[in-house]
């Protein structure tokens, strides 16, 4: 019997169909700087606009969606994880004060199912539209024999730009500064390995409506996409407010991520009573008998991003956050002490 690539497990025709299916989604993310169209060996992005910067700095971020994908597989829902992938990258870029310019994704799959690839890329495109960046390219790779046919992995990276003088590096943070917490949309994309051990990972369990979750199903709540904070931070910047530090609350929760923006000699004091922790986190803690310290060291606990600002600017920051369509709270303050986080 003669062999060909399809018999070896790679369907080139399915790859062509996937490309055709995603073209309209990619086109919806275009910016004026994008040169050429989909199908080239690389994504071309003009730097002409950056010539208007006095001292431009490029910023980059890369990440994946992690084991949250297992829920997408179980529920056969693939249109939200692309938003997560973009969010995990662009939210890191804006932590340093950058404007995300473009994004590229990478999908590795056991088998190329064009409709599924289209759903994934549609989510990536939606994330890019929310972030205002262009999806300039990507790669879909079939790995027969290496990955199960119905599974895939998704990762990507983003490149952004900012003026060097506008870089946010936390160096100006001082004791007395206010901490503003911006609410998350839920669990976002971290801690799912623990979640998959806390709750039975069956479709029946995931599709059961929960009164504690407002009548939504557990799977629906867990698959809620990560918030993208690009427009929120732009609104704060456009309000003329100087943000001294920004922390994206991802894996490692409060204890690992908040100190990343703090200079030596500064400690973050977080007031737990300043907001109501969303019910999903209480359910995780109860179902798995998870200690409070572990919860705050794993999850965002309802706060997706923390901003450090002069206390005189706190109210104006919250007003700008709300004007952007997000919401937040005065979470605590910076105090003198060993770098770290104290919950009170």
pLDDT digits over 80-99, tens only? 999 999 999 999 999 999 99
* Residue 124 φ/ψ, nearest 5 degrees: -60, -45
For residues 334-339, average pLDDT: 96
Residues in the chain: 344
Co-location of 62 and 140 in the same domain: yes
Question: What confidence category does residue 49 fall into, taking pLDDT thresholds of 50, 70 and 90?
Answer: confident
* CATH code of 107's domain: 3.30.1330.10
Co-location of 188 and 291 in the same domain: yes
Q: Which of 337, 275, 269, 283 is nearest to 302 (CA)?
A: 275
Question: What confidence category does residue 3 fall into, taking pLDDT thresholds of 50, 70 and 90?
Answer: very low
Q: What is the C-alpha separation between 159 and 62, in angstroms, rounded?
A: 9
Q: Is residue 131 part of a domain?
A: yes
How many domains is the chain partitioned into structurally?
Answer: 2
If you write DSSP's letter for every residue of 64-100 in order, what string do you get?
A: E-GGGHHHHHHHT--SSHHHHHHHHHHHHHHHTT-EE
Co-location of 129 and 24 in the same domain: yes
Q: Is the dihedral angle over the CA atoms 135, 141, 142, 148 positive or is it negative?
A: negative
pLDDT at 16 over 80: no
Q: What is the C-alpha separation between 300 and 306, in angstroms, rounded?
A: 10
Helix (H, G, I), strand (E, B) or coil at 111: coil
Q: Among residues of the chain, what percentage have pLDDT more than 70?
A: 94
Q: Is residue 3 part of a domain?
A: no
* CATH code of 240's domain: 3.90.650.10
The domain containing residue 322 runs over which residues?
Answer: 178-343
For residues 160-183, average pLDDT: 96
Co-location of 123 and 62 in the same domain: yes
pLDDT at 224 over 90: yes
Of 141, 166, 191, the domain-final residue: 166
CB 159 within 8 A of CB 101: yes
Q: What is the pLDDT of residues 209-223, one digit of tens each?
A: 999 999 999 999 999
Co-location of 24 and 94 in the same domain: yes
Co-location of 207 and 144 in the same domain: no
Co-location of 81 and 148 in the same domain: yes
Residue with the two structure tokens 């495109």: 125
Neighbours of 207 (CB within 10 A): 13
Which pLDDT score is estimated for 40?
Answer: 61
Residue with the two structure tokens 């994946």: 64
For residues 9-36, average pLDDT: 75
Q: What is the pLDDT of residues 148-161, one digit of tens each?
A: 999 999 999 999 99
Q: Which of 149, 140, 134, 176 is nearest to 44 (CA)?
A: 134
If you write DSSP's letter for every residue of 25-58 in order, what string do you get?
A: HHHTT--TTEES-TTSSS-EE--GGGGGSSSEEE
Co-location of 192 and 155 in the same domain: no
Q: Is residue 172 part of a domain?
A: no
Which pLDDT score is estimated for 340?
Answer: 96
Q: Is residue 35 part of a domain?
A: yes
Q: Which of 41-55, 57-71, 263-277, 303-317 has the lowest mean pLDDT?
A: 41-55
Q: What is the pLDDT of residues 101-126, one digit of tens each?
A: 999 999 999 999 999 999 999 999 99
Of 166, 187, 206, the domain-final residue: 166
66: left (phi over 0), alpha (psi -120 to 50) or beta: left
Co-location of 128 and 182 in the same domain: no
Q: Is residue 252 part of a domain?
A: yes
Of 102, 137, 166, the domain-final residue: 166
Q: What is the pLDDT of residues 228-252, one digit of tens each?
A: 999 999 999 999 999 999 999 999 9
Q: Is residue 265 part of a domain?
A: yes
Q: What is the mean pLDDT of the chain?
A: 92
Tokens of 338: 């060993």
Q: Which of 11-15, 47-51, 158-162, 298-302 has the lowest mean pLDDT?
A: 11-15
Q: Is residue 6 part of a domain?
A: no
Question: What confidence category does residue 179 fall into, taking pLDDT thresholds of 50, 70 and 90?
Answer: very high
Co-location of 110 and 228 in the same domain: no
Co-location of 248 and 158 in the same domain: no
Co-location of 191 and 332 in the same domain: yes
Q: Is residue 1 part of a domain?
A: no
């Amino acid at each position: 019997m003669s062999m060909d690539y399809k018999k070896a497990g790679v369907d080139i025709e399915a790859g062509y169909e996937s490309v055709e299916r995603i073209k309209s989604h990619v086109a919806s993310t275009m910016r004026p700087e994008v040169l050429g169209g989909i199908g080239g060996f690389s994504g071309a992005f003009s730097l002409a606009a950056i010539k208007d910067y006095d001292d431009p700095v490029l910023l980059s971020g890369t990440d994946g969606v992690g084991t949250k994908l297992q829920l997408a597989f179980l529920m056969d829902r693939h249109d939200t994880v692309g938003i997560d992938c973009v969010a995990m990258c662009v939210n890191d870029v804006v932590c340093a004060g950058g404007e995300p310019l473009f994004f590229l994704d990478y999908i590795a799959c056991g088998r190329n199912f064009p409709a599924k690839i289209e759903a994934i890329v549609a989510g990536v495109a939606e994330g890019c539209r929310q972030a205002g960046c262009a999806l300039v390219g990507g790669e879909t790779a079939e790995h027969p024999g290496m990955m199960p046919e119905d599974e895939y992995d998704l990762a990507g990276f983003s490149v952004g730009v900012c003026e060097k003088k506008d870089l946010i590096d936390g160096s100006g943070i001082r004791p007395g500064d206010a901490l503003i917490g911006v609410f998350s949309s839920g669990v976002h994309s971290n801690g799912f390995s623990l979640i998959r051990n806390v709750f039975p990972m069956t479709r029946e369990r995931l599709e059961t409506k929960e009164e504690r979750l407002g009548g939504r199903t557990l799977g629906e709540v867990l698959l809620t996409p990560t918030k993208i904070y690009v427009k929120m931070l732009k609104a704060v910047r456009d309000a003329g407010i100087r943000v001294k530090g920004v922390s994206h609350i991802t894996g490692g929760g409060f204890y690992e991520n908040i100190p990343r923006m703090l200079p030596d000699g500064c400690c973050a004091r977080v007031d737990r009573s300043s907001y109501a922790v969303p019910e999903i986190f209480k359910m995780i803690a109860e179902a798995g008998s998870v200690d409070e310290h572990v919860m705050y060291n794993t999850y965002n606990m309802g706060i997706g991003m923390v901003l450090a600002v002069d206390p005189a600017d706190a109210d104006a920051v919250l007003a700008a956050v709300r004007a952007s369509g997000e919401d937040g709270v005065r979470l605590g303050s910076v105090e003198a002490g060993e770098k770290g986080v104290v919950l009170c």
